[in-house]
Amino acid sequence: MPGARRAAGMHRPRPPPPEEPPALEDQDLLLAAAYVSDAQYNRNVPFETSPQAIRLYYFYNHWAMQVATYFFICVDLSLALFEEPALFPLPFLVTSIAEVLCLTAFFGRLVHFAKVTPQMVFWKDTKNICIMVTIVLTLVDLIVYGILEALNVYGIRWSRALRPVFLINFPESRQIRRAFRSIRNTLPDVLYVFLLFIFSVGTFSLMALKLFGDRSLKTVEGSPYFTNILDIAFELYVLVTTANSPDVMMPAYEFNWWYSLYFITYIIINTYIFMSVFLAVVYNNYRKHLKNEIRTLAYLKRRKMIEAFNILKVKVGTESVVKEAQWRRLVKVVAPDISSSHLELLLRILDEGQKGHVDKVNFLRLPDLLNIQVITINVKRHPLEAWMPRVYQSSASLLVQKVVRHRVFVWAYDVIILINAIFIALDEKNPFISYAEWLFLSLYIIEILLKLYTYEPRAYFGRKQFWNWFDTLIIIAALVATVANTTIQSARKYNSQQILDIVLILRILRLLRVIVSIQRFRVIVTTLINIGPTMLTFGGLVLVVYYVFAIIGMEAFHGRVHFFGPNSTSPDALACGNSALRDSAFARGKYCRNNFNDLGSLLILLVELTVVNQWHILADGFALVTHQVAKLYFIGFHIVVVILIVNIFIAFILEAFFVAYSLEKSEVETAIEKKIQELGVGVQEEKVQDGSLVENMDAKDSGFSEDNKKKDLKGLYFRIASKKYRTVDALLQQMFESETAPEEEGPSLEEILNFSPADIYPKNPNFENSA
Amino acid sequence: MPGARRAAGMHRPRPPPPEEPPALEDQDLLLAAAYVSDAQYNRNVPFETSPQAIRLYYFYNHWAMQVATYFFICVDLSLALFEEPALFPLPFLVTSIAEVLCLTAFFGRLVHFAKVTPQMVFWKDTKNICIMVTIVLTLVDLIVYGILEALNVYGIRWSRALRPVFLINFPESRQIRRAFRSIRNTLPDVLYVFLLFIFSVGTFSLMALKLFGDRSLKTVEGSPYFTNILDIAFELYVLVTTANSPDVMMPAYEFNWWYSLYFITYIIINTYIFMSVFLAVVYNNYRKHLKNEIRTLAYLKRRKMIEAFNILKVKVGTESVVKEAQWRRLVKVVAPDISSSHLELLLRILDEGQKGHVDKVNFLRLPDLLNIQVITINVKRHPLEAWMPRVYQSSASLLVQKVVRHRVFVWAYDVIILINAIFIALDEKNPFISYAEWLFLSLYIIEILLKLYTYEPRAYFGRKQFWNWFDTLIIIAALVATVANTTIQSARKYNSQQILDIVLILRILRLLRVIVSIQRFRVIVTTLINIGPTMLTFGGLVLVVYYVFAIIGMEAFHGRVHFFGPNSTSPDALACGNSALRDSAFARGKYCRNNFNDLGSLLILLVELTVVNQWHILADGFALVTHQVAKLYFIGFHIVVVILIVNIFIAFILEAFFVAYSLEKSEVETAIEKKIQELGVGVQEEKVQDGSLVENMDAKDSGFSEDNKKKDLKGLYFRIASKKYRTVDALLQQMFESETAPEEEGPSLEEILNFSPADIYPKNPNFENSA
């Protein structure tokens, strides 16, 4: 009778099952565990199943090895800071030894990987070939450059532009690779639109030459207007980026009103329509390939779990199942740190009938369950209550707690923050105002202390209590910095500028708290925080592209333009140290600081080019000092970064918002979440976030004593990651899985790895359309 | 026996049906026809069913009445050209009489509409209230202004800004209204994001004030840098539009490299993330409301067809049907110009079994069938063949035809066009080159003549043969203009500049033909042409917003800035005639032509502001002459046009591309198209487009003689509008209808009119997700 068994709880001494299977080989268990943990972390690497290979595979996936890899990648990339032209110069010998060390590490990692995966798979994977070729090329370049250096001949370290290959091609940076794959897949479609666009610009250039070329008009700067077809094409290309609007139009417009219609037509066709078409094409491809990738990952996960199941399964009646004992051993290997109560909880969810074994459908759920965060929420009392119950429960203390929990308390502090903002805006040299700052600081400290008094401290500083941590850290840092500054000031009669700046920024960041206390805003902020991690992927992508362009730019344009400091009186300062720039728009705009002389300046310069405005002045400036060659560099950068990467970024943000929106509407919930809700052991993240956690727990506590079944699990809850806090990937995968029948095995491994976006297998209408 | 009947064709004398229903009242027929034509043109106006009202309703929908309405709207809007400050000044009396006339026309139209629709519906519709209020306000303003004018007191014609209300609110401009509704519905969501964005800008401004305010830095122009919080907020707002990047950053960056990180953070958060979020929010709402509207239209159409059916139906057995005779009378009323063979064809499709009546499901298809274009494609011979068959069929003539039809012929002309482009780019003062132009012109004329010789002329100049028309018109126009120019030149030794410009543009437009002969490009161009009509809607939307801003701007800033002509030597020319502008960036950039003095200049100015670049210089310029008030105008324009309207435009283009894409994938085909294909009387538009129409017809012709059934319809084909040439609306409606069961009646009229985007009735998974 299942009811009776359940009532007995999970702590009853379990009778040995009638037919215990022969103990599995450790080898098989390790293999199954490797499959499960692959599924859990969504790795899509096939590995060999020999005992030695599995042990190597575990070692390969060890966190220390991954950290070491990233460390070497960072070292390799940051070498550019120390090589000529350097921010911090180091001799060539030092940097080259460091680089060889990195290359050795990469090679070692690759060899390790080769030992783990089947030969066929290893050699078919372009990633591995790429890394090997890059290592060889880098070594060749190092040797050639070293010899040239020894002979005092000028050489170019061209292989430095290849360094991002290591960042892209290691299996761990899947997100960056996916973005690159998106770009690569988009290229053919974008190319056709681009050719059409170039044709359009060319046609308009020809028209402009004929319409304006013979009018002997002058630009604002007095040079001839639209007389050379190449110059016109460049000007019109710049107009697409809007950077020279309306200056490029003014001479023609002043000459005759009707000529402005030419420019308006041009802008509508090329700036608005073509640029939107680029976005549409990029977005469409991004969408298509994202879905394909998610599908591949989902099927791969299922396939690996089936492999693991097949290793562990035994027959019970007509059904293949995994025995409880085997299952426990497996989970212990996959997640060595799991607590025994957590393990019991998992088992209880997967083996609901407490039949002593886990069937296939439930077994497949294991990786999702392992990915769900578990927290022990103590229905424990506040430490002060335990320590001095009389005082903590006194009516005064209860009143304080009630006040702190009241909404008015939050509002009062919002008002205080706004008043603080006004004080910050006022002049702080007034001593009264600087005293006020102390007052505000102490008010904030009192707030935190009061909250700690009211709420259970461990709940208040829970793992995902982002805003509580934010508050406390900012206040403590502000306190430390203010005290440090006062000490220095009274000791040396001198304000440390750095510390003041930090105090100031901390003080202003506190204003963010007002936003968080307004519900409507919190939703938007949460979505933005949610897509934050994936935006870092784009950081990686941009870093790669910037790095390549930076290295090329440094080699090509280094030292052509000099910056003499804002207070320089040198006559060369006005021409950025290059007579070709005298009286150019570049020098007049005081853009000398935007140069290619070191990585720091380059980073800023490339950001400016990404923002687009005035890029034609920068391009013209460098074109003047390099006989027009530089224009190709700037146009190339614009095409790659602005037309491709920025559009992919926009596509990503649009997609993230749409997925969040369609999920909100369709309320997709996985079977696992339902099960957890049924058992009554789930806590919605929102409640934890709200800071109302403790009350919520108190309420549940009283309910518990009436319900034996729930009481068993007292003190242990599954926290279901809030929908808002999930990544787009996780959401999409969830949508896909919720539409696939749990029994379905999906296509074979071979098929999965060769998925193309055109194969729709099986057709998931919602997933296909909304993703 | 249906087979025997079908073999007999449709020209057999039809025996009178056994039980002819009593002839319908003409009244009922007219009512039913009104319903059908409403469904056909997707009008969603309920009307009264009294005989008089129906007659009025027919009159209301008459094309002449609609043209008259649009004429008066145009006159009303264009009055701004003739009123002070005017391009073409007219006395106040003339313009006010014209305006009163327009208002009378609008009022008459409204009264007409009120007579047609039920009272309840009329007064519940905000459109009608809007028009009435606007008429009253305009009259009041006219009278007040007239009195002030008579007393020589300065008055403001503020009601002019209300004129676009007439354009928006007449029932015929549904598309513009929809765009406005999209904007209105988006406002709450956009507002929250906007507040957050303003908060972010505010926080950064405060930070900037504290970080840079005390450093005594100078801008490029030598003014103090970041010392006033309002100026900082404005500069940072401008930075979001990227218009002052990187200038705004340079002083801080030159002072210390680290400060540039402040600006990069700002740009990432506010320019990239917030602007993308705006796009996401606008797009999401656009999508949601578009779907809702399509659904409403589709249900309304069905509902009206059911009403019409219920009027005409008679019982045959257990089934309600419409008798053939009634059906014929109905179609004759709905489409008076229909040819009898076309009518027979429709009947044959709807009454496939030739049972002498049309059942309900088929009856509902009538509006779609009426909307399908029908052409008579003559399997007729080339006129020359009929005229002199021996010559036309001679081997030389056949060879010519074969050559012209060959792909190499197209390629040869592509090469000629490219060579022509090179000649155009070269200097045309060289007499050799101007002779070459005659050569090219004659080559093109020969091409057209050859094509007319080879293809049937009526097919070559078919209704949708866009590119053939394009070619011919351009060549003829170029011929006429060149001849005219040569005549003038030889007569007066003088080149007419206007004619030369036109010749030139025509000559360059010919280059477009190269694009069209490349298949990959043609697809993109077709999609763009396809969305062209709806882009005109956006033209209307932009016109409305521009008009309102233009009137406000003219009243507020008229005459503050003057332009002295490009060659003026007046000392005021350098300061645009306003001493406040001396040495400002506005005057230095020679922006004096960008002023508010007449509608022409304003149009260009507003386009420049829409393009965004340098808008802060324009804003600063007008702020100088109006004590900073103008900044509000410019910021308002930026928020409305760039943040809302441009984003809706981008959303529209994205949606158009995605719908085209998902349709291509899912191959939605309506039952009607299938039926037409089954009968073998459809011609795909693509074939017509390809110019291979004639061969295609020839091939079909030979097939016909073998097939009696098809021969009946010889000379008459349904042209199924190519998928590529349909509008987004039509595509979406088709997707929606293909997912609704043909029997389903849908919700009631009441429900339909109160649809909100949240009601999903019934749930159409594909439509909901992909639209």
d(C-alpha B210, C-alpha A425), whole Å: 8
What's the pLDDT score for residue A567? 74
B528–A199 C-beta distance less than 8 A: no
Nearest to A358 by CA among A137, A753, A139, A36: A36
Q: A703-731 burial by CB neighbour count: b if 16+ within 10 A, else e?
A: ebeeeeeeebbbebbbbbbbbbbbbbbeb
d(C-alpha B101, C-alpha B113), whole Å: 18
CA distance B727 to chain A (A): 17
| HEC readout, B173-216 | CHHHHHHHHHHHHHHHHHHHHHHHHHHHHHHHHHHHHHHHHHHC
- Say if residue B22 is preceded by a cis peptide, omega within 30 of 0: no
Q: How many CB atoms lie within 10 A of CB B29?
A: 20
A591–B524 C-beta distance less than 8 A: no
- Listing DSSP states for B207-252 in one string gives HHHHHHGGGT-B-TTSSB-S-SHHHHHHHHHHHHTTTTTTTTTHHH
B593–A250 C-beta distance less than 8 A: yes
- Tell me the H-state helices in B372-465: 383-387, 389-392, 395-405, 407-425, 431-454, 457-460
Query: What backbone phi and psi angles, to 5 degrees, belong to A731?
Result: -65, -45
Which residue of chain A is at minimal alpha-carbon distance from B199?
A515
B264–A203 C-beta distance less than 8 A: no
The partner residue sitting opposite A273, judged by closest CB among B193, B528, B614, is B528
d(C-alpha A672, C-alpha B242), whole Å: 47
- What residue type is assigned to position A149 of the chain? E
- Segments in chain A below pLDDT 70: 1-25, 44, 171-173, 372-381, 427-429, 462-464, 493-497, 523, 660-732, 734-771
- What residue type is assigned to position B571 of the chain? P
Show residues of chain A in contact with B255, CB under 8 Å: 566
Q: Report whether B292 contacts B258 (CB < 8 A).
A: no
Q: Report whether B261 contacts B254 (CB < 8 A).
A: no
CA distance A89 to chain B (A): 18
Tokens of B288: 């949601």
> B315 in helix, strand or coil?
strand
Q: Report whether B206 contacts B272 (CB < 8 A).
A: no
CA distance A420 to chain B (A): 12
The residues pairing with B321 across neighbouring beta strands, listed in sequence order, are B314, B359
List all residues 6 or more positions away from B387 whose beta carbon is below 8 Å from its beta carbon. Answer: none
| Percentage, residues of chain B above pLDDT 70 | 78
What's the pLDDT score for residue B72? 92
B277–A657 C-beta distance less than 8 A: yes
B649–A245 C-beta distance less than 8 A: no
Query: What backbone phi and psi angles, to 5 degrees, belong to A753?
Result: -70, -20
A611–B206 C-beta distance less than 8 A: no
List all residues 6 or more positions away from B567 whose beta carbon is below 8 Å from its beta carbon. Answer: none
Which residue of chain B is at minimal alpha-carbon distance from A514?
B199
Nearest to B421 by CA among B504, B524, B517: B504
B211, pLDDT greater than 80: yes
Show residues of chain B in contact with A217, CB under 8 Å: 566
List all residues 6 or more positions away from B268 whose beta carbon is below 8 Å from its beta carbon. Answer: none
Q: Which value, in Å, is the radius of gyration of the alpha carbons in chain B?
A: 32
Show residues of chain A in contact with B600, CB under 8 Å: 257
- Tell me the H-state helices in B558-670: 585-588, 599-611, 615-625, 630-637, 646-666
Cβ-Cβ pairs closer than 8 A, A with B, add up to: 211
B511–A203 C-beta distance less than 8 A: yes
Which residue of chain A is at minimal alpha-carbon distance from B618?
A246
| pLDDT tens per residue, range B86-116 | 778 888 889 999 999 999 999 999 999 888 8
B411, pLDDT greater than 80: yes
The partner residue sitting opposite A267, judged by closest CB among B249, B272, B611, is B611
Show residues of chain A in contact with B425, CB under 8 Å: 206, 209, 229
- Report DSSP state, residue B641: I
Contacts 24+ apart (CB under 8 A), B335-344: B335/B370, B341/B713, B341/B715, B341/B716, B342/B374, B342/B716, B344/B10
The residues pairing with A323 across neighbouring beta strands, listed in sequence order, are A357
- Tell me the H-state helices in A170-258: 174-212, 229-240, 250-255
Q: How far is CA B501 from the centre of its chain?
A: 28
> B156 in helix, strand or coil?
coil
Which residue of chain B is at minimal alpha-carbon distance from A651?
B276
Sheet holding B314-316, edge to edge: B314-316, B319-323, B357-359
Q: Which value, in Å, is the radius of gyration of the alpha carbons in chain A?
A: 32
- What residue type is assigned to position A180 of the chain? F
Tokens of B754: 């109160």
> B645 in helix, strand or coil?
helix
Show residues of chain B in contact with A535, CB under 8 Å: 273
- What residue type is assigned to position B503 of the chain? V
Q: Report whether B460 contacts B689 (CB < 8 A).
A: no
The partner residue sitting opposite A611, judged by closest CB among B245, B505, B653, is B245
d(C-alpha B481, C-alpha A274), whole Å: 32
Disruptive mutation site among B218, B232, B241, B250 for chain A (greatest number of A CBs within 10 Å): B250
Mean confidence (pLDDT) of chain B = 78
Show residues of chain A in contact with B280, CB under 8 Å: 653-654, 657-658
Binned at pLDDT 50, 70 and 90, residue B386 comes out as confident
List all residues 6 or more positions away from B369 whose beta carbon is below 8 Å from its beta carbon. Answer: B346, B349, B350, B672
What's the pLDDT score for residue A267? 92
- Tell me the H-state helices in A151-173: 164-169
d(C-alpha B96, C-alpha B101), whole Å: 9
d(C-alpha A716, C-alpha A344), whole Å: 11
What's the pLDDT score for residue B634? 92
What's the pLDDT score for residue B105? 94
Q: Which residue has the tokens 């500054």?
A: A485
d(C-alpha A439, C-alpha A420), whole Å: 10
A591–B250 C-beta distance less than 8 A: yes
B525–A250 C-beta distance less than 8 A: no
- Report DSSP state, residue B14: P
Q: Looking at per-residue confidence, does B109 or B347 come out higher? A: B109
d(C-alpha B593, C-alpha A603), whole Å: 38
Which residue of chain A is at minimal alpha-carbon distance from B280?
A654
The least confident of A335-349, A735-749, B171-185, B386-400 is A735-749
Show residues of chain A in contact with B267, CB under 8 Å: 607, 611
Show residues of chain B in contact with A614, CB under 8 Å: 245-247
Which residue of chain B is at minimal alpha-carbon distance from A510?
B203
CA distance B720 to chain A (A): 27
Q: Looking at per-residue confidence, does B344 or A321 come out higher? A: A321
The partner residue sitting opposite A508, judged by closest CB among B207, B245, B281, is B207
- Listing DSSP states for A493-532 in one string gives S---HHHHHHHHHHHHHTTHHHHHTSHHHHHHHHHHHHHH
| pLDDT tens per residue, range B472-498 | 888 888 888 888 877 877 777 666 667
CA distance B581 to chain A (A): 17
pTM: 0.82
List all residues 6 or more positions away from B106 whose beta carbon is below 8 Å from its beta carbon. Answer: B69, B72, B76, B131, B135, B166
Nearest to A373 by CA among A65, A17, A717: A717
The sign of the dihedral angle between the CA atoms of A282, A285, A291, A292 is negative
A515–B196 C-beta distance less than 8 A: yes
> Mean pLDDT, to the nearest integer, of B33-42?
82
Show residues of chain A in contact with B223, CB under 8 Å: none
Q: How far is CA B696 from the centre of its chain?
A: 33
What's the pLDDT score for residue B714? 47
Q: Which residue has the tokens 């350098």?
A: B574
**End-to-end CA gap in chain A:** 46
The partner residue sitting opposite B600, judged by closest CB among A206, A257, A601, is A257
d(C-alpha A683, C-alpha A685), whole Å: 6
What's the pLDDT score for residue A636? 93
The partner residue sitting opposite A246, judged by closest CB among B283, B520, B614, is B614
List all residues 6 or more positions away from A272 whose beta carbon is below 8 Å from its beta carbon. Answer: B646, B649
Show residues of chain B in contact with A654, CB under 8 Å: 276, 279-280, 283
The residues pairing with B374 across neighbouring beta strands, listed in sequence order, are B718
B272–A246 C-beta distance less than 8 A: no
Show residues of chain A in contact with B88, CB under 8 Å: none
What is the β-pairing status of strands B314-316 and B682-684?
A: unpaired
Angle at A695 between CA A692 and CA A700, to 5 degrees: 120
CA distance B569 to chain A (A): 15
Nearest to B604 by CA among B612, B613, B595: B595
B554, pLDDT greater than 70: yes
Disruptive mutation site among B508, B530, B603 for chain A (greatest number of A CBs within 10 Å): B508
Binned at pLDDT 50, 70 and 90, residue B68 comes out as very high
Farthest-apart Cα atoms in chain A, separation: 102
B267–A613 C-beta distance less than 8 A: no
d(C-alpha B192, C-alpha B173), whole Å: 30
B424–A210 C-beta distance less than 8 A: yes
> Mean pLDDT, to the nearest integer, of B152-167?
88
B15, pLDDT greater than 60: no
| pLDDT tens per residue, range B368-385 | 777 766 655 555 567 787
d(C-alpha B332, C-alpha B304), whole Å: 18
Which residue of chain A is at minimal alpha-carbon distance from B246?
A608
Q: Which residue has the tokens 């099960």?
A: A675
Q: Report whether A682 contacts A718 (CB < 8 A).
A: yes
Show residues of chain B in contact with A267, CB under 8 Å: 607, 611
